[in-house]
Amino acid sequence: MTRPRPTSIPSARAAPLLAAGLIGLPFLPSVRGQEPAPDPVISSIEQGQTQLDESFGLRGRHRHLETQGDPASLTHFKFNFRTYSFDRVKFDDSVSEAIAAGGWVGAKTPFFLDRFSFGVTGYTSQKIQGDPDEDGTLLLEPVQAGYSVLGEAFLDARLADRVHLYAGRKEFDTPFINPHDNRLTPNTFQAVVIQGAAGLGSGGANLKYGVGYFDRIKNRNEDHFISMAVDAGAEVERGVFTGGALFEKDDFTIGAIDYHSPDILNIFYAQTKWTLPVTLPLADNAVPAFALQFIDQRSTGDELLTGGAFAAQQVGVKGDLPVGDALFTAAYTLAGGDANLRSPWSAYPGYTTVQVEDFNRAGEGALLLRAGYDIPWFEGLSAYALFVNGSDPDDPAQYRKDELDLNLQWEPPGECLSGLSVRLRYALVEEHGPVTRGLRDFRVICNYGLEN
C-alpha cells in the first residue's frame, strides 16, 4: 500500500500516543526513574546502542538492577511503561505505521545465603492502531499483532566479590549482543555468562570482563526464543561463544570482545576512549574526548550462513566537545571487505549508525556532524540535530545516502515526575541514485520507568 509522500511532520498522528502515555502514568515519587536513552548533551551514543565501556553488566544501568544497600536484604523491582508511535514512508512510497503501548515489569530477589538471587521480567506490546497493510514497524509481531512474553527468568550466582554467574533468560549489554532497546521491548537472551571486575593496584585502574555462551535470542518484537544462528539467517542451529575485557583508568578505556558462532560468523570488536587533559578556552567544561573502534567480521568453519567465505571490516573515529550546555560531535567510519557488515543480535555499534541507516555497506565511508543542546530556559528540554554524509558503496547496484536527524526530548522536573520522558524523533534519508529518492521516519515515544 502506498500513499502520497507527506511534506510536513504528521503531528496529528502523535496525539493518540501522547494521550495514552500521559493518562497511564503512575505517580510514584519514592522510586528512582529510568531514562529510555542517554541525555543528548551528556552522550552522543545512538539510542539502542551499547559501547564497550557500557558492557559486562557491572556498571549501574537500570536493566541489571544493580544492588543498592545490603544485597542480602533487598528485593528489587523494575517497571517501565512506554507508548510509541512509528510512521515511516519508505523509498518506494510504501508505509510502515503503528501506535502501540507496552513495557515490562520485573523483580529480583535478595541473595540467599549471600550467594544466589533470582530474577524474572515480563514484557508486553499491545496495538493501539495499526493497519495490517502497513506492517514493519517492529513495535508489534507480524502482522500488527500484540504479544506478551516472559523475557527474563535467570539465576544470579555471586561466585566472589564482583564476580557473577548468570544462567537463564536475561538482558545483556555488549556491542553486538545487547537489548537494542529502541522500540517497545528489548532483546533478551538465553545464556550462561560470567561477568566480573577487579581492581588493578592502587592507582585506580579497573578491569571488567565477561565470558559466556549465548544459545537463543528473543527479538524486540517477538514472544519466543530462537537459535542465535537462525536469527542471523542460517538454516542450522548454533550458539555464540563470547569473551572480552575492558581496562579502565581515569578517563581512559581500552578493550575488545569476540563473538564466535561455529560454522556461521565471527565478530571481533575493539574500542578505546580517552579524554584530553586540557580545557579549551571556550567554556569551563570544554574538555575534548576521542574514541576509536575497529570491527572485523568473517565466515567460520563450514560457512553455513551464506554458503561461501566472506570478510568485512570497519574502522571509526569520534570526537566529542562539550561547550557549556552544548555537545558537538564529529565522527567518521569506513567499511571495507567483500560483504556488508552485519548486526543480527543487537543495534549496530558504529559511530555513524543513526536513527535509520547504519552506513556499514562494503566500501562505504560516512561523516557525521552532530550538535546537542540542553535548553537552559526550559528545564528538562534538550535537543540535537545531526547529519551523516555517506559515500557510494562498492556494489554498483547500491547508491550513496545522506541522513538528517532531529530529536527533541523533555524530562519534566520535579520528584513526582521522575522517570518520565517524552521524545520526538524525525529522520530524512536521501538516496542519490539515477533518481534521488527519500525516506521519512517520524517517531513519538512517551516513556515512564522506575526501579527501587
pLDDT(24) > 50: no
The stretch 341-352 carries a mean pLDDT of: 97
Range name among 24-38, 182-196, 366-380 with the lowest pLDDT average: 24-38
Residue 19 domain-assigned (yes or no)? no
Residue pLDDT, tens place only, 371-405: 999 999 999 999 999 999 999 999 999 999 999 99
Residue pLDDT, tens place only, 134-146: 999 999 999 999 9
Bigger pLDDT: 24 vs 444: 444
Structural domain that includes position 339: 30-451
pLDDT of residue 12: 45
In whole angstroms, what is the distance from residue 60 CA to residue 76 CA? 14
Q: Which of the residue ranges 17-26, 48-57, 224-233 has the most confident prediction, judged by mean pLDDT?
A: 224-233
**CATH number of the domain residue 164 falls in:** 2.40.160.10
pLDDT of residue 74: 79
Residue 37 domain-assigned (yes or no)? yes
Residue 1 domain-assigned (yes or no)? no
Residue 2 domain-assigned (yes or no)? no
pLDDT of residue 56: 86
Cell of 332: 567518521
Residue 366 domain-assigned (yes or no)? yes
Residue 287 domain-assigned (yes or no)? yes
pLDDT of residue 274: 97
User: Residue 59's pLDDT band (boundaries 50, 70, 90)?
Assistant: very low
pLDDT of residue 1: 45
Residue pLDDT, tens place only, 229-284: 999 999 999 999 999 999 999 999 999 999 999 999 999 999 999 999 999 999 99
How many structural domains does the chain have?
Answer: 1
Cell of 29: 515519587
The stretch 430-439 carries a mean pLDDT of: 97
Residue 440 domain-assigned (yes or no)? yes
CB 442 within 8 A of CB 9: yes
Q: Name the residue type at position 263.
A: D
pLDDT(311) > 60: yes
Residue 11 domain-assigned (yes or no)? no
